[in-house]
Amino acid sequence: MESGVNGEVIVVGGGVIGLTTAVVLAESGARVRVWTRETVELTTSAVAGALWWPYRIEPEALVGEWALQSLRVYQELAARPEETGVRMVEGVQGGTRLDELGPWARRVPGLREARAEEYAGGGLWARLPLIDMSTHLPWLRERFLRAGGTVEEASVTDLTEVPAPVVVNCTGLDSLDLVPDRSMRPVRGQLVVVENPGITTWFTSVDHAADTSTYFFPQPGGLILGGTAEDGAWSMTPDPATAEAIVARCAAIRPEIADARVLEHRVGLRPTRPAVRLERQVLRGGRVLVHNYGHGGAGITVAWGCAEEAAELVRLRLG
């Protein structure tokens, strides 16, 4: 985005989408405030396993470009993992073939068919960004503050009444009632965090016909095991039977996981709709509402690409 943007913008929503959008806007010269109902540590983004990969997000034609743009940013941030929380880590997408993916996949550096010694079940090997959200979200907030932005605790009941020339809606699942957008729905994900028994690579295997998947991600705070994708489920309470099944599926891939001590149970609701909504709406009096929500299970994957596009829509208003 071009520099020299003037005027005030209020970004509603303090998760990874809201903070990344706010960073791009503030570093472009806009006066930006983030209104958030909760601190970044309590947002849905904080629960994410956070491997870069376009998972449960549409439309594919646009997602690929947003994801690749974000990939380039994360590759740069991975040079400072302790500060940014971003590391480049090797792993396997089990049961996935290159010809099943969109054109974006052929532009991912090093993405290739997995060798038998890497995973006998067949899949793709890649070295991808794996993001520790407990570090990355506070880092995004501090980067935003250094750029002159402010973060305010505020609850919004009507986006059209937010007092700024431009409002950016990054409220995720809350858009169901705030917009209101009845196409929004939760896709519930449950995770188990265990002591890492020495695993240094990630693994995923997704059955798109089922509401379960198998993955593990080595993070600084433990090995994150998953997972579920329960469409329309709102419960934030971890289910013990589901947790037991998650551990068993992961242990079938790496047996040492079976005896790992459980540290934590997590549940998050992916903000899902038929396609990401990234568009500009003109309000009464010439004010503008920019929507940037509905990123499903890949908000982290597309955050920077979507933030740049949202910022361009803001620039049309602020000039």
| DSSP code string of 189-225 | EEEEEE---S--SEEEEE-TTSSEEEEEEEETTEEEE
Instruction: Check residue 284 and give its pLDDT.
Output: 87
Closest CA to 86 of 38, 26, 142, 134: 134
pLDDT in tens, 145-179: 999 999 999 999 999 999 999 999 999 999 999 99
Where do the DSSP E strands lie in the chain? 8-12, 31-36, 86-94, 112-113, 123-131, 150-153, 166-169, 185-194, 202-206, 212-219, 222-228, 230-231, 262-282, 288-295
Where do the DSSP E strands lie in 13-74? 31-36
CATH class of 8-318: alpha beta
Map residue 32 onto helix, strand or coil: strand
Residue with tokens 């242990």: 251
**Residues with pLDDT less than 70, the chain:** 1-7, 317-319
Domain regions of the chain by residue span: 8-318
Instruction: Check residue 40 and give its pLDDT.
Output: 80
State the CB neighbour count (10 A cutoff) for residue 265.
16
Instruction: Check residue 318 and give its pLDDT.
Output: 57
Closest CA to 269 of 10, 15, 65, 62: 15
Cα–Cα distance measured from residue 303 to residue 295, given in angstroms and rounded to the nearest whole number:
9
Contact yes or no for 84/78 (Cβ under 8 A): yes
Instruction: Check residue 206 and give its pLDDT.
Output: 87
- State pTM to two decimals: 0.94
pLDDT in tens, 253-299: 999 999 999 999 999 999 999 999 999 999 988 899 999 999 999 99
Map residue 168 onto helix, strand or coil: strand
Rg (CA), the chain: 19
Contact yes or no for 15/38 (Cβ under 8 A): no
Instruction: Check residue 266 and give its pLDDT.
Output: 96
